[in-house]
């Protein structure tokens, strides 16, 4: 079930109406940003009172599962500019993924199954990200995206593990060298050993300003590779990729946000070249109207 949030919480999740199951093909052919077409059901934004609080306490309304390096590298901080409060994530020099045992823990990761119980077959995720001025992208790294599973609050469809139907799927975003963007997808019909690179270089992340990201995932009809992912950057459609097989059977649904950000890859040549960071804000999830 979607978590109920009391008014006293400084960080709010807003539930806007009852859930309806979305058809896997609903929304096909739409080029307007998905948050304009979907009804918002969940929002998450830290408040001024959250600055200095333990990050897992602030994230509690999202019911985070399997957190990695959250206490070490994620904090809530005040900023000057259009977005005054943000989640700040550190990538220490030499760090790669947060689970690495041989390098500094870099970035942060958790699952937020806030759509559990909705049986969603289509969903929209929006958030804002800011790479600090002069951010060194190196070889690349991960950014948040949507994930799904067969009722579980997490997925094993990451980390170069084999994808099978019960594992579900993940559709994180990624930056590559020079800030080139892509979707990094674990699907049933991927051909890469790890995640499949979709739309690499269709957009480029700038350093310094806030960037508005929206991702729409439409699950495939079981038995057909008609799944789809779309991405908008600052309101511009930059990726519309069909032919995806997210699931083999009808039990896999979209569960929510996979907050995952780190440098890598798993090898040292993917590491962050210096201490640096990103900011995240204004998370929103929607389902078709």
CATH number for the domain that contains residue 93:
2.60.120.200
Average pLDDT score over residue span 217-236: 97
Is residue 170 predicted with pLDDT exceeding 90? yes
In a domain, 15, yes or no: no
Is residue 54 predicted with pLDDT exceeding 80? yes
Least confident of 27-31, 185-189, 246-250: 27-31
pLDDT tens-digit map of 157-166: 776 666 765 6
In a domain, 3, yes or no: no
Number of Cβ within 10 Å of residue 180's Cβ equals 17
Burial 189-224, CB ≥16 within 10 A → b, else e: ebeeeebbbbbeebbebebeebbbbbbbbbbbbeee
Q: Please, which pLDDT band fits residue 49 given cuts at 50, 70 and 90?
A: very high
Q: Please, which pLDDT band fits residue 289 given cuts at 50, 70 and 90?
A: very high
In a domain, 82, yes or no: yes
Return the pLDDT at 29: 53
In a domain, 13, yes or no: no
In a domain, 7, yes or no: no
Q: Which residue has better confidence, 196 or 134?
A: 134
Q: Degrees (nearest 5) of the Cα angle 21, 26, 29? A: 160
pLDDT tens-digit map of 71-96: 999 999 999 999 999 999 999 999 99
In a domain, 5, yes or no: no
Is residue 2 predicted with pLDDT exceeding 90? no
Containing domain of residue 246, as a range? 34-288
pLDDT tens-digit map of 175-218: 999 999 999 999 877 766 767 899 999 999 999 999 999 999 99
In a domain, 216, yes or no: yes
Centroid of chain to Cα 171 = 7
Number of domains in the chain: 1
């Amino acid at each position: 079930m979607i978590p109920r949030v009391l008014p006293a919480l400084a960080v709010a999740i807003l539930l806007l109406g009852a859930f309806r199951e979305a058809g896997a093909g609903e929304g096909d052919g739409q080029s307007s940003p998905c948050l304009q077409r979907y009804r918002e059901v969940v929002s998450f934004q830290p408040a001024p009172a959250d600055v200095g609080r333990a990050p897992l306490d602030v994230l509690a309304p999202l019911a985070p599962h399997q957190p990695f390096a959250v206490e070490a590298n994620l904090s809530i901080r005040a900023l000057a500019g259009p977005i005054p409060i943000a989640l700040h994530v550190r990538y220490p020099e030499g760090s790669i993924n947060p689970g690495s045992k041989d390098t500094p823990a870099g970035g942060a990761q958790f699952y937020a199954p806030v759509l559990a119980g909705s049986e969603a077959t289509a969903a929209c995720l929006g958030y804002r990200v800011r790479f600090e001025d002069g951010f060194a992208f190196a070889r690349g790294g991960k950014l948040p995206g949507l994930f799904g599973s067969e009722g579980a609050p997490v997925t094993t469809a990451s980390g170069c593990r084999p994808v099978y139907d019960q594992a579900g799927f993940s559709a994180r975003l990624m930056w590559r060298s020079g800030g080139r963007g892509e979707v990094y997808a674990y699907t049933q019909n991927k051909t890469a050993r790890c995640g499949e690179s979709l739309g690499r270089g269709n957009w480029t992340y700038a350093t310094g300003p806030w960037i508005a990201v929206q991702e729409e995932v439409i699950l495939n009809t079981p038995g057909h590779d008609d799944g789809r992912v779309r991405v908008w950057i600052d309101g511009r459609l930059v990726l519309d990729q069909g032919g995806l097989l997210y699931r083999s059977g009808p039990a896999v649904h979209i569960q929510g946000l996979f907050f995952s950000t780190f440098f890598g890859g798993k090898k040292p040549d993917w590491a962050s070249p210096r201490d640096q960071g990103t900011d995240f804000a204004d998370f929103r999830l929607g389902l078709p109207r």
